[in-house]
Chains A and B, each alone.
Chain A
């Protein structure tokens, strides 16, 4: 099965190779052939959520062209995939592009969703020792509607000592540009999240969206706390 990887701009630019690499290796281990379209950029969410929809359409068109050849588009981010699924709304009045946008939306999957629902695998054979908790990102759960896949996969990772995060449904306060535009509010939200993480006594916070992890991890670092954040792809790629 050929899978086209949409890395997302955060994994591409702000982070080292780990998340993308783990995604590639996990998928390959499950028998997928990876295609990485080099012209890919960003899903357009920063502009879209800021109200700049004309500008978003330019980005969306570029992404549609870049991934038009793909059978499946898989991305290690629920939020960015939810944005790909927004594209048809952007082209409601554009008969040429709406069909192409719909096709793109229909073949886009978040990584864990793809593994569980398309590959129908719940145990990827990973092993990871550690006391962990998991942040359920808002866009993954509410916009994409994927509430179960990450937990199904984590349940089968050997060695995980898992504690559920209290008030897990609450937003971490990232929200893209919200995190800087509404800084004082975002700060309160991320502090509450960090407090709940500490209540679990976990050493590692796992998440499936780099946006949330960058926010929570950045705040944890600033406060000089020792909890480490990791992307779920890295956990699923861990082997003894």
Chain B
């Protein structure tokens, strides 16, 4: 799939999102529920800010020493019989993964949910060599059956779909003939997918956190599909973004705690699975061959910049669940597999500004995201930093805006000009605003008055009142 999920223009995508009433209702309800549950389990701890501080410190330390921890991790994986491949970009990762699959002569592949494999377009690469790749996360499976509809949320990928649509998809693609009751739909998915699990020669997973000290990878799930994908197939391939690592099991504890509570408001999800290399001697289940692919794909160039803390992200979607912009436009409007505030920060870093120059501006900078982030990424500040780069380095602001901002700054640093301006402002506003304040004006003022009135500037100004008073006059 790749990061990019749409060729439409930004405002066309937004328009489509705003008009999708079902999606908006679903998103709004999901946000309330997920956020409500998160607040419940974080307040219960009583010292959530301490947890956030600790998590931030762990993530910062790990990123500062990332080369060391990745090397330690790789050494421990290999020592226990696993194979490690460091992939600089998507192509290198896909080449390695397809070569492993070819060597195994494998045709049937079962996958558990993984954003990084979406990012590198791994499914397409495997399908190209003739493999049947089955997404086993219920949400991802629904999207895959529905002709690869892109995900709209990083934790609940099919959030934008309703059960009727899902029933229809199951019916069309798999001759499902029962009701749209979620229990029945899920039961059907269980039966269908169980066959795929039993037939699969290769299981592919993402990785929530790798543990350097033991060479383990951990998977955080509720459905159990990641467990099946790593229990039945003879070969396991785990694909991880290079920043998804912790030093020891003790730090894993903290970050898993933060992830489960922030993502779904659970103390722990149903399954936290720690997998270390291949199965051991005498083991019947588990993989005989284990590969881990560590992916850079644009991440390393974020290190050492003002955006480094974006790599602290643990993909919990807490920022998405509180974002008012996301609530109204939905995930697809971002045009990226990474939506919401973290998507608006991360996508231009990974893919460049050309296709995503609007994203950093699609925020009122309300900072709800920054407050919600369990690892304390200053998301709204990073959006401002993107804006600075777009203006100062990429030169992507319009001529009119440049002129306006230069004029503004000159005026706001030259008192005489400023005072002239504010003296004229009420007359100016009243002129364009009309008697009722709903006039049309021009430029940004026209946009403002497209949907709102201007304030009514009647009565004397503050300065006039203040001057009079100083002179001893009354108001």
* B is a partner of A: yes
**Contact assessment for A180 and B444 in the assembled complex, using a CB-CB cutoff below 8 Å:** yes
**Contact assessment for A48 and B384 in the assembled complex, using a CB-CB cutoff below 8 Å:** yes
Chain B residues with Cβ below 8 Å from A18 are: 459
Give the complex CA separation of A218 and B409 in angstroms.
26
Chain A residues with Cβ below 8 Å from B452 are: 190, 215, 218-219, 221-222
Give the complex CA separation of A61 and B413 in angstroms.
8
**Contact assessment for A51 and B413 in the assembled complex, using a CB-CB cutoff below 8 Å:** no
Chain B residue at smallest Cβ distance from A182: B362
Chain B residues with Cβ below 8 Å from A51 are: 384, 386-392, 397
- Partner of A17 from B329, B386, B401, B465 at Cβ < 8 Å: B465
Chain B residues with Cβ below 8 Å from A46 are: 405, 408
Q: A21-B475, A169-B368 are contacts. A16–B457 as well, Cβ < 8 Å?
A: yes
Give the complex CA separation of A56 and B408 in angstroms.
9
**Contact assessment for B387 and A56 in the assembled complex, using a CB-CB cutoff below 8 Å:** no
Q: Mark B391-406, 1 if CB is under 8 A from A, else 0.
A: 1100001000100011
**Contact assessment for B368 and A142 in the assembled complex, using a CB-CB cutoff below 8 Å:** yes
**Contact assessment for A218 and B18 in the assembled complex, using a CB-CB cutoff below 8 Å:** no
Q: A190-B452, A221-B437 are contacts. A21–B462 as well, Cβ < 8 Å?
A: yes
**Contact assessment for A21 and B465 in the assembled complex, using a CB-CB cutoff below 8 Å:** yes
Q: Is A70 an interface position by the 8 A CB rule? A: no
Q: Mark B441-454, 1 if CB is under 8 A from A, else 0.
A: 00010011011111
Give the complex CA separation of A7 and B368 in angstroms.
27
Q: Is B325 an interface position by the 8 A CB rule? A: yes
Segment with Cβ contacts to B, from A96-104, A157-165, A171-179, A200-208 = A171-179
Q: A14-B455, A51-B391, A51-B397 are contacts. A188–B18 as well, Cβ < 8 Å?
A: yes
Q: Is B55 an interface position by the 8 A CB rule? A: no
Segment with Cβ contacts to B, from A36-44, A117-125, A126-134 = A36-44
- Partner of A47 from B325, B389, B405, B451 at Cβ < 8 Å: B405
Chain B residues with Cβ below 8 Å from A39 are: 415
Chain B residues with Cβ below 8 Å from A32 are: none
**Contact assessment for A189 and B444 in the assembled complex, using a CB-CB cutoff below 8 Å:** no
- Partner of A142 from B371, B392, B422 at Cβ < 8 Å: B371
Which residues 8-30 of A have a CB within 8 angstroms of B?
9, 11-21, 24
- Partner of A187 from B384, B429, B451, B464 at Cβ < 8 Å: B451
Give the complex CA separation of A187 and B462 in angstroms.
30
Q: How large is the interface on B (under 10, 10 to 19, 20 to 34, 35 or more residues)?
A: 35 or more
Q: Is B411 an interface position by the 8 A CB rule? A: yes
* Nearest Cβ on chain B to A211's Cβ, whole angstroms: 10
Q: Is A217 an interface position by the 8 A CB rule? A: yes
- Partner of A41 from B14, B415, B451 at Cβ < 8 Å: B415
Q: Is B460 an interface position by the 8 A CB rule? A: yes
Chain A residue at smallest Cβ distance from B323: A171
Chain A residues with Cβ below 8 Å from B328 are: 185, 188-189, 192
**Contact assessment for A58 and B409 in the assembled complex, using a CB-CB cutoff below 8 Å:** yes
Q: Is B286 an interface position by the 8 A CB rule? A: no
Q: Is B68 an interface position by the 8 A CB rule? A: no
Q: A50-B387, A169-B368, A188-B328 are contacts. A183–B459 as well, Cβ < 8 Å?
A: no
Q: Mark A133-162, 1 if CB is under 8 A from B, else 0.
A: 000001100110000000000000000000
- Partner of B409 from A24, A59, A176, A185 at Cβ < 8 Å: A59
**Contact assessment for A49 and B384 in the assembled complex, using a CB-CB cutoff below 8 Å:** yes
* Nearest Cβ on chain B to A45's Cβ, whole angstroms: 10
**Contact assessment for A13 and B421 in the assembled complex, using a CB-CB cutoff below 8 Å:** yes
Q: Is B463 an interface position by the 8 A CB rule? A: yes
Q: A171-B364, A222-B452 are contacts. A14–B409 as well, Cβ < 8 Å?
A: no
Give the complex CA separation of A11 and B4 in angstroms.
44
**Contact assessment for A189 and B364 in the assembled complex, using a CB-CB cutoff below 8 Å:** yes
Chain B residue at smallest Cβ distance from A7: B462
Q: Is A54 an interface position by the 8 A CB rule? A: yes
Chain A residue at smallest Cβ distance from B450: A183
Q: A189-B324, A190-B452, A214-B455 are contacts. A173–B364 as well, Cβ < 8 Å?
A: yes
Chain B residues with Cβ below 8 Å from A170 are: 324, 366, 368
**Contact assessment for A38 and B461 in the assembled complex, using a CB-CB cutoff below 8 Å:** no
- Partner of B460 from A9, A16, A40 at Cβ < 8 Å: A16
Q: Is B272 an interface position by the 8 A CB rule? A: no
Q: Is B146 an interface position by the 8 A CB rule? A: no
Q: Is B186 an interface position by the 8 A CB rule? A: no
- Partner of A185 from B325, B384, B422, B453 at Cβ < 8 Å: B325
Chain B residue at smallest Cβ distance from A217: B455
Chain A residues with Cβ below 8 Å from B458 are: 16
Q: Is A95 an interface position by the 8 A CB rule? A: no
Give the complex CA separation of A20 and B461 in angstroms.
9
Chain A residues with Cβ below 8 Å from B436 are: 221
**Contact assessment for B463 and A12 in the assembled complex, using a CB-CB cutoff below 8 Å:** yes
Chain A residues with Cβ below 8 Å from B453 are: 217-219, 221-222
**Contact assessment for A24 and B324 in the assembled complex, using a CB-CB cutoff below 8 Å:** no
Q: A46-B408, A185-B325, A221-B452 are contacts. A138–B459 as well, Cβ < 8 Å?
A: no
Q: A46-B408, A188-B328 are contacts. A178–B475 as well, Cβ < 8 Å?
A: no
- Partner of A50 from B405, B426, B451 at Cβ < 8 Å: B405
Q: Is A55 an interface position by the 8 A CB rule? A: yes
* Nearest Cβ on chain B to A212's Cβ, whole angstroms: 10
**Contact assessment for A178 and B363 in the assembled complex, using a CB-CB cutoff below 8 Å:** yes
Q: Is A53 an interface position by the 8 A CB rule? A: yes
* Nearest Cβ on chain A to B248's Cβ, whole angstroms: 34
**Contact assessment for B366 and A138 in the assembled complex, using a CB-CB cutoff below 8 Å:** yes
Q: A9-B422, A62-B412, A185-B329 are contacts. A178–B361 as well, Cβ < 8 Å?
A: yes
Chain A residues with Cβ below 8 Å from B96 are: none
**Contact assessment for B462 and A41 in the assembled complex, using a CB-CB cutoff below 8 Å:** no
Query: Given A12-B422, A19-B462, A185-B329, 9 more contacts at CB 8 Å?
Result: A12-B463, A20-B466, A54-B392, A171-B366, A171-B368, A177-B444, A179-B364, A185-B18, A188-B18
Could you write out 29 A-B pairs with CB less than 8 Å apart? Answer: A9-B422, A13-B422, A16-B458, A16-B461, A17-B475, A20-B462, A20-B465, A42-B412, A46-B405, A48-B384, A51-B387, A54-B392, A55-B405, A55-B409, A58-B412, A62-B413, A142-B368, A143-B367, A178-B365, A182-B362, A183-B451, A184-B11, A185-B18, A188-B329, A190-B451, A192-B328, A218-B437, A218-B455, A221-B452
Interface residue ranges, A against B (CB under 8 Å): 7, 9, 11-21, 24, 36, 38-42, 44, 46-56, 58-59, 61-62, 66, 138-139, 142-143, 169-171, 173-190, 192, 214-215, 217-219, 221-222
